[in-house]
Amino acid sequence: MLFNPENYTIEKKTFDGLTVTYRAFTDIPYVTKPINPDYQKLAIYVPESYYHGQSINSYTLETAPIFMPNGVGGYMPSEIEEPGYARFAKPGTINSLFWALHHGYVVVSPAIRGRTQKNEEGLFTGKAPACLVDYKAAVRYLHANANLIPGDTNKIITNGTSAGGALSSLMATTIDHPNYQTYLDEIGAADSTDMIFAASCYCPITNLDHADMAYEWQFNSLPRYSRQKMVMTDGGRPSFSAEDGDLTEAQLLLSQQLKALFPIYLNSLHLKDSNDKVLLLDKEGKGSFVDYLGKLLLTSAQKANVDVATVPWLDESGKLDIEGFVADITRMKTPPAFDDIFGQSPENDLFGDQNMPCKHFTTFSYEHSIGKVELADTTVVKLLNPMNYIDDEKAGTAQHIRIRHGQRDRDTSLAISAILATKLRQSGIDVDYQSPWGVEHAGDYDLEELFTWIDSICK
């Protein structure tokens, strides 16, 4: 799987009055035994000026960081992306690939398998952990060709949003762990390393086996939900319609049961803040962990120049009224939010196998299941949770991790990203974690800040 530096086209794109000219190395297989060949290849984009002895932001062909975003959403398949308009954003939004090239990075865009894919025999080929294994294999291809690949393969930075943010966090916490080797061998991944230097994680939908209890701990006080139901148009773009309702008595009972489980899990993690204060919750779900989130949101408000006196659920000391907070941002999902008792959620679909589309991945939902839905292999569920690997000596960890979870994000609990960031920081990892004020479930909304962060760790 040698990279061919002569197989390229020169492309030119202009957006917002800015032009980027770059070399495009496309349709490069990154494994020798692909299961879905169209989704196990990558593209590399390089500023053309680098080939003429020029530099951008002090970077050169040899020193430029490699920005490696994934386009995964909902754990669905992701095709190779090109610099241009963003796929799942407001029309006219320019994607991170274009801006990264303009900033002077080498950009690598991998296609990645997803949960809905089948082969010619009708067997599913993209169930967990395929999405993560493909991402790792793409990085291994870069390292195997380090002497030929443009850019600095010691400075690979992954980036993703939602499920893609979860994959980025997993790339950062599971480096070269032997649990993934059999899967990598199966597809003919390069015999190298999947080491990355840093990871950018927007609103990661992760820690799925504890996300239901975290969601109900946060949103239990609100029995009404309000969400946008998504359907795909003929043009391949998402369309949304409003869907509101009240939790049923059965759902309210599930919410209470799940909420009660979260303090037990949280306390078992032995988390501490940056001042070495233990973060705990009592049986009612109150305690120092809530205070930690309050300080996080206070910092967010201050950065956005929000007058905290106008925020009824937060005071100037950072004291958080979590019920008021939830009433403000509103509930989006019904319990269980991820492991649906009917086994019909996207996450249930993720943990199916080659024959069965959906499975439960928590014992709680399996025990409360409606219908004949099997329980997923616990070893597979483990592979998709970064919390399982942060303290595992067999796993390498990226040196720097940036996590953003919008203050108005309702897709998963704020606790999930807070737990991840806190655990990483306790383990000695450089973590940049914020909850940007007024931001919902989204990514790539602060690319200037993201690139400043990348420059600060790379230069």
**CATH code (residue 452):** 3.40.50.1820
pLDDT of residue 112: 98
pLDDT of residue 240: 62
Same domain, 236 and 350: yes
Residue pair 47/88 in contact (Cβ under 8 Å)? The answer is: no
Residue 76, in any domain of the structure = yes
For 136, residues 6+ apart whose C-beta sits below 8 A from its C-beta are 171, 174, 180, 184, 189, 194
pLDDT of residue 235: 55
Same domain, 125 and 242: no
Residue 361, in any domain of the structure = yes
Residue pair 34/187 in contact (Cβ under 8 Å)? The answer is: yes
Same domain, 182 and 234: no
Same domain, 186 and 236: no
Token code pair at residue 356 = 């069965």
> What is the spatial distance between Cα 394 and Cα 176, in angstroms, rounded to a whole number?
8
Residue 429, in any domain of the structure = no
Residue pair 404/203 in contact (Cβ under 8 Å)? The answer is: yes
Three-class secondary structure of residue 68 per DSSP:
strand
Structural domain including 306 reads: 209-382
Residue pair 40/34 in contact (Cβ under 8 Å)? The answer is: yes
Residue pair 401/199 in contact (Cβ under 8 Å)? The answer is: yes
Structural domains counted in the chain:
2
Residue pair 428/397 in contact (Cβ under 8 Å)? The answer is: no
Query: Which of 340, 367, 382 is the endpoint of a domain?
Result: 382
In the numeric block, the tokens 């990558």 are attached to: 42
Q: What is the CA radius of gyration of the chain?
A: 22
Same domain, 213 and 316: yes
Same domain, 18 and 40: yes
Query: Can you name the residues that pair with 42 across neighbouring β-strands?
Result: 28, 110
pLDDT of residue 449: 98
Same domain, 215 and 273: yes
pLDDT of residue 234: 59
pLDDT of residue 227: 79
Q: Would you give the DSSP letter of residue 18?
A: E
Residue 437, in any domain of the structure = no
Residue pair 78/70 in contact (Cβ under 8 Å)? The answer is: yes
Residue 50, in any domain of the structure = yes
* Whole-Å CA distances, 100 to 39, 44, 436, 455: 23, 12, 21, 11
Same domain, 58 and 186: yes
Same domain, 284 and 391: no
In the numeric block, the tokens 């920005």 are attached to: 67
In the numeric block, the tokens 């609100």 are attached to: 222
Same domain, 253 and 229: yes
Same domain, 392 and 245: no
Three-class secondary structure of residue 363 per DSSP:
helix
pLDDT of residue 231: 61
Handedness of CA 46, 49, 53, 56 (dihedral sign): negative
Residue pair 139/68 in contact (Cβ under 8 Å)? The answer is: yes
> What is the spatial distance between Cα 37 and Cα 142, in angstroms, rounded to a whole number?
18
- The pTM (predicted TM-score) of the whole model is 0.96
Residue 378, in any domain of the structure = yes
In the numeric block, the tokens 């975290």 are attached to: 214
Same domain, 262 and 347: yes
Task: Kindly report the length of the chain.
Answer: 459
> What residues in the chain have per-residue pLDDT under 70?
229-241
Residue pair 250/368 in contact (Cβ under 8 Å)? The answer is: no
Residue 424, in any domain of the structure = no
Residue 417, in any domain of the structure = no
